[in-house]
Amino acid sequence: MNSNPPLTNVQARDLDAILHPYTPLHTLPQTGATVIDHGKGVYVYDTQGNEYIEGMSGLWCAGLGFGNEEMVEAATQQMRSLPYYHLFGGMGIEPAIELAEKLKELAPVPISKVFFTSSGSEANDTQVKLAWYYNNARGKPEKKKIISRIKAYHGVTIMSASLTGLPYNHKGFDLPIDRVVHTECPHYYRFGQDGESEADFVTRLATSLRELIEREGPDTIAAMIAEPVMGAGGVIVPPKGYFEAIQPILDEYDIYLIDDEVINGFGRTGNWWGSETLGMTPKTISAAKQLTSAYAPLGAVMLPEDIYQAFVDHSRQIGTFGHGFTYGGHPLGCALGVKAIEIYQKLDILSHVRSLIPVFEARMKKIADHPIVGEARYCGLMGGVELVADKATKQPFDASVGIGPKAATLARQNGAIFRAIGDTLAVCPPMIITAEELNALFDRMEKALDDTEFLAKKDNLRG
């Protein structure tokens, strides 16, 4: 018997008209969508008047929260002056120029040029095309494979979904495609061997990467792509020294490192870039999400001078640089990117995030002791709470139980929004959150975990 309440009119309309991404479509007719109506600060409100602390910044992206009036005004001004133009054929617009200048100033490594896209998926897709173009331009046409990692998330276009190392992005889609190979995931809790220290784990992963490169052939591999902290794979923070261990191997084989900062960038980890926090030395960078605080779609690829000059030489041979998007560098997105960075700097967002990290860490450490929690991992204002059936043995719940989605639903009933990534609850609040609001968010998470444990016992979900 269906215990769910009947769908509201707006839920029925939603069900009739929308194909929802990342949604169990077979259960949606029973539950209906949670339809969000408006938001302010770190809070959002649904069409039935329920209030939630938005513990995921939407999708890792609304760093300034909701309803920021400076952002609204910047959007209004830009829409009035130039609602749309493009960058094709050598055309230019001031917002794109200014934002590219700001990104070059903030970049953690020397950057010469910025290429704009509409999303992080497009940015990472572009990274691969540009790696191929670059190696063709420098006379290495066989050097085309890209190394990614198991549990990585890099997007959902055909190529970026192939880079992604998650089964639900591959199953049923005939992915991954050729030229993508996956190396091991740097998650010590799940993949460390008995008696193996974190340092030994890092050494083993570095050795495995070298073996993969030699097996595939170094002359066939262009680049490796990596998130500093793996976001949608479950907020996986690599052990100390991980990137320092793999960087010399990549350098040895002329394989450059692509830094996917789509989730990590713009203060989330306590630095402008996750690569600074995690010890990465990338050659190119992808950005999106908090680039505009999600007030408009925008992505960016940041390139060094040597890659750009190779493009210039190839353009001379071919006649043009044949890549671009209608909305790449859209004036609205770029104006909002400029304004978002101005606000981050005015608020001294790095200091604010750093001031909240001790609160975040303390609450995550407390949550780690919960009977249903196997691991609570975190970096900056980003964390993952992995739920397990047996804390002592790390035994997960049977996948058919869907304990993660159940916990996320119970969290919403307690007034907080988190994202279930399998059986991990991800938390990534707007960076403007106060200590008081952050504690309230974790209070609601703890209540949801208590409710989840009760449900697991009542329904014998632990097996």
Give average pLDDT by consecutive 10-residue segment, the chain, 463 residues: 80 95 92 96 97 98 98 98 97 98 98 98 98 96 98 97 95 95 98 97 98 98 98 97 98 98 98 98 98 98 97 93 96 98 98 98 98 98 98 95 96 98 97 98 98 93 77
Specify whether 373 is located in the same domain as 316: no
Residue 6 falls inside a structural domain:
no
Of how many residues is the chain composed? 463
Please measure the distance between the N-terminal and C-terminal CA atoms of the chain and give it in whole angstroms: 23
Specify whether 188 is located in the same domain as 301: yes
Which pLDDT score is estimated for 461? 84
**Residue 8: half-sphere exposure toward Cβ, Cα within 13 Å:** 9
332: its two tokens: 């609205």
CB distance 214 to 248 below 8 Å: no
Specify whether 358 is located in the same domain as 295: no
Question: Structural domain tally of the chain?
Answer: 2
How many Å apart are CA 202 and CA 182, to the nearest integer?
16
380-436 tens-digit pLDDT: 999 999 999 999 999 999 999 999 999 999 999 999 999 999 999 999 999 999 999
DSSP H helices in 139-231: 158-163, 188-191, 198-216
**Residue 459: half-sphere exposure toward Cβ, Cα within 13 Å:** 12
265: its two tokens: 């960038």
Out of 312, 346, 380, pick the residue that ends a domain: 346
Which pLDDT score is estimated for 148? 98
360: its two tokens: 């975040």
Residue 2 falls inside a structural domain:
no
Beta partners for residue 382, in sequence order: 379
Please spell the DSSP secondary structure of 365-394, one letter per residue: HHHHTSTTEEEEEEETTEEEEEE-SBTTTT
Range of the domain at 424: 34-67+348-458
Specify whether 253 is located in the same domain as 184: yes
**Residue 363: half-sphere exposure toward Cβ, Cα within 13 Å:** 23
Which pLDDT score is estimated for 1? 38
Specify whether 284 is located in the same domain as 385: no
Residue 109 falls inside a structural domain:
yes
Specify whether 90 is located in the same domain as 42: no
Tally of CB atoms within 10 A around 123: 31
Specify whether 314 is located in the same domain as 384: no
Tally of CB atoms within 10 A around 237: 23
How many Å apart are CA 4 and CA 112, to the nearest integer?
55
Specify whether 58 is located in the same domain as 145: no
30: its two tokens: 């029973």
288-327 tens-digit pLDDT: 999 999 999 999 999 999 999 999 999 999 999 999 999 9
- Please name the helix (run of DSSP H) or strand (run of DSSP E) that holds residue 301, with its range, or none: strand 299-303
Longest CA pairwise span in the chain (Å)? 70
Specify whether 213 is located in the same domain as 299: yes
How many Å apart are CA 163 and CA 224, to the nearest integer?
10
Specify whether 398 is located in the same domain as 288: no
Residue 339 falls inside a structural domain:
yes
By CB atoms closer than 10 A (0-12, 13-18, 19+), residue 32 is middle
Residue 8 falls inside a structural domain:
no
Specify whether 174 is located in the same domain as 291: yes
By CB atoms closer than 10 A (0-12, 13-18, 19+), residue 66 is buried
CA-based nearest residue to 80, from 327, 369, 316, 332: 332
Residue 24 falls inside a structural domain:
no
Specify whether 309 is located in the same domain as 354: no
Out of 290, 325, 346, pick the residue that ends a domain: 346
Residue 18 falls inside a structural domain:
no
CATH of residue 335's domain is 3.40.640.10
Beta partners for residue 421, in sequence order: 424
> Going by DSSP bridges, is the β-strand pair 113-117/256-260 parallel, antiparallel, or unpaired?
unpaired
How many Å apart are CA 69 and CA 417, to the nearest integer?
23
Residue 29 falls inside a structural domain:
no
Out of 292, 316, 346, pick the residue that ends a domain: 346
